[in-house]
Structure 1
């Protein structure tokens, strides 16, 4: 049996906001706070760890994107995120802007 954490780590990818728009329509996006590991959240959701997931929801560490957030992201369609698909959800985590000088 494959290791779920390793499998999810391997499927973690970067996505631009515009690529995530179809998932907005399905209400399947979940924002993961940078304090958490997106892979650990994916493992908890895949394993149906209700108490852990509910704890994160209660602490607002994972949540549906707000209208304000989506408007900001819509203004920058190239905004990048870590993205992880854990059916039926798409977990996203904002990537920090590190390159201040563009090539």
Structure 2
């Protein structure tokens, strides 16, 4: 698990909405609440930790972007996000 965590941590990046937009168009973006550690969520998804992921979904701590969020991000395309790719998803968190 430590090796996975290290690899995912190396893959984390800050990117703007324009770079994320194509992934949103293929419905692959997952918004991670700021109260969660993006790396922890990525590790849980990569390891198929259903219990943790279902808990976060139930608590609305991770979700697909809402239409309002997509609209806001399309208006301000310079907004930065902390991102982590966990195939086939792109996890995003506001910076």
- The yes-or-no answer on 1:91 pairing with 2:61 is no
What's the offset of the Cα at 1:12? 0.3
The alignment's TM-score, normalised by the length of structure 1, stands at 0.89
What's the offset of the Cα at 1:2? 6.5
Greater C-alpha radius of gyration: 1
Tell me the equivalent position of 2:71: 71
Task: Give the secondary-structure state (helix, strand or coil) at the position aligned to 2:44.
Answer: helix
The alignment's TM-score, normalised by the length of structure 2, stands at 0.96
- How far apart in 1 are the matches of 2:75 and 2:94? 15
Give the aligned CA root-mean-square deviation in angstroms: 1.2
Segments ≥4 residues shifted beyond 4 Å: none
- How far apart in 2 are the matches of 1:67 and 1:20? 15
Give the structure with the higher percent helix.
2
Task: Give the secondary-structure state (helix, strand or coil) at the position aligned to 1:3.
Answer: helix
The superposition leaves residues 6-51 of structure 1 with CA deviations (integer Å, 9 ceiling, x where unpaired) of 1111110011001111001110000000100000000000000001
Aligned residues: 95
Tell me the equivalent position of 1:19: 19
Structure 2 unaligned regions, length at least 5: none
Tell me the equivalent position of 1:51: 51
Task: Give the secondary-structure state (helix, strand or coil) at the position aligned to 1:35.
Answer: coil
